[in-house]
Amino acid sequence: MKIVILDGYTENPGDLSWDALAAFGELTVYDRTPDDDAEIAKRIGDAEIVFTNKCPIRRPVLEACPELRYISVLATGYNIVDTACAAEKGIPVSNVPTYGTAAVGQFAIALLLELCHHVAHHSEAVHRGRWEHNADWCFWDYPLIELDGKTMGIIGFGRIGQTTGRIARALGMRVLATGSRESEAGRAIADYVDLDTLLRESDVIALHCPLFPSTQGIINKDTIAKMKDGVLLINNSRGPLIVEQDLADALNSGKVAGAGLDVVSTEPIRGDNPLLTAKNCLITPHISWAPKEARQRILQISAKNLEAFLQGAPINVINGL
């Protein structure tokens, strides 16, 4: 059985092993595959199993690869696969739904703490000699923010949102939440409120919701206008949740005091993205998911996905087969 991984480098740049997948057949790993249907189809060839992270598998590829029996996404998001076409052809598509809960929640708080203290900036200032030559015994270049007693509003309160909420409560914050489904586990962490209440009362707003038509652009000039002056915004969920020009305008006016973002609308980021020049906007290159421990779980779950498919009972299937 032939197995192809189309874009393995970000999942495993060399610090993990592909052996768990190689045990199932003849494994070919490409670090990267260009976004070209003909080249993607060529690399899949007559393989029966394909793994992809962000390399798209569209209808022309599926039409050109009649031996393909199973697709597994090395991530949670699966919009890069034409799942409807795969279903038409009887090809199950699986994903990895729960590998990064702790890592992503931790990173959301890391972004928030960096906005509150600008640790990297002040460390760099010290290394440039500013403390050595300072007239006073200390200095700071940004307002420093204490989170105890403040309110965090979390939009999307599933596993990751709840993880972020638990850490926020440990910092002494009150937590508000809004989401499609309420749960007892969620009520133990946060008060569920409607979106307008969350926008109005939160000092910090964190986005942990999926990207659906109903959530695309949920942060825009109208919802920003309902927020407190000086609010902080965190997004390490999906870039298109934010209308980026509207957020840039709010940052530059001071309505939003700071934003910590690990995702943007187009990735890699384009040079004309207005957030690159906005005031007090931290942007990291979509790395919330990337601790080694989380990537190891992706490999382990992906191997289980493949094993279950080969046993005739596929798991984590997202296209109804």
Give the pLDDT confidence score for residue 178 in this predicted structure.
Answer: 96
Does residue 140 sit in the same domain as residue 204? yes
In the chain, at which residue ranges do the beta strands (DSSP E only) sit? 2-5, 26-29, 49-52, 70-73, 93-94, 151-155, 174-178, 191-192, 204-207, 231-235, 256-261, 281-283
For the stretch 247-300, pLDDT in tens is 999 999 999 999 999 999 999 999 999 999 999 999 999 999 999 999 999 999
For the stretch 64-119, pLDDT in tens is 999 999 999 999 989 899 999 999 999 999 999 989 999 999 999 999 999 999 99
Give the pLDDT confidence score for residue 280 in this predicted structure.
Answer: 97
Does residue 257 sit in the same domain as residue 135? yes
Number of domains composing the chain:
2
Q: Is 295 exposed, middle or buried (0-12, 13-18, 19+ CB in 10 A)?
A: buried
Q: Which residue is listed with tokens 């957020």?
A: 247
In a domain? residue 21: yes
Query: Distance between CA atoms of 201 and 178, rounded to whole angstroms?
Result: 13
CATH number at residue 150: 3.40.50.720
pLDDT higher than 90, residue 189? yes
Catalytic residue among 118, 122, 208, 238: 238
102 CB contacts (<8 Å, ≥6 apart)?
A: 163, 294
Does residue 43 sit in the same domain as residue 117? no
Give the pLDDT confidence score for residue 180 in this predicted structure.
Answer: 80
pLDDT higher than 90, residue 17? yes
Taking residues 133-140, report their average pLDDT: 97
pLDDT higher than 90, residue 206? yes
In a domain? residue 315: no
- pTM of the entire predicted model: 0.94
Give the pLDDT confidence score for residue 128 in this predicted structure.
Answer: 98
Per-residue pLDDT band at 321 (split at 50, 70, 90): confident
Give the pLDDT confidence score for residue 179 in this predicted structure.
Answer: 86
Does residue 86 sit in the same domain as residue 201? no
In a domain? residue 196: yes
Does residue 153 sit in the same domain as residue 171? yes
Residue 286: active-site member: yes
Does residue 129 sit in the same domain as residue 252? yes
Does residue 63 sit in the same domain as residue 172? no
Taking residues 192-218, report their average pLDDT: 96
In a domain? residue 166: yes
Per-residue pLDDT band at 176 (split at 50, 70, 90): very high
Catalytic residue among 118, 286, 295, 297: 286
Per-residue pLDDT band at 22 (split at 50, 70, 90): very high
Catalytic residue among 67, 267, 270, 293: 267
Segments forming the whole domain that contains residue 62: 2-99+292-310
